Amino acid sequence: MYVCICNAIKERELRAIACSVSGDAEAAYAALGKEPDCGQCLCEAEDILAEERAGAIPLALAV
């Protein structure tokens, strides 16, 4: 599903990058080589990042 229509950013792209980038949705977009345009997607993007980060298991605990 597209989260950001302006930049064609998909939910799976945000989930894939969530744990490798600290910061907000704008930081995640920058890591993808994009920047917000209209900004209507930012709240949903923040929710997706938070959800993915909350479900992540720290590597030290995964061993």
pLDDT in tens, 29-38: 999 999 999 9
Range of the domain at 55: 2-62
CATH of residue 12's domain is 1.10.10
What confidence score (pLDDT) does residue 58 get? 61
pLDDT in tens, 35-48: 999 999 999 999 99
Q: Please compute the mean of the pLDDT values over residues 1-24 and round it to a whole number.
A: 96
Binned at pLDDT 50, 70 and 90, residue 63 comes out as: low
Q: Is 60 exposed, middle or buried (0-12, 13-18, 19+ CB in 10 A)?
A: exposed
Number of domains in the chain: 1
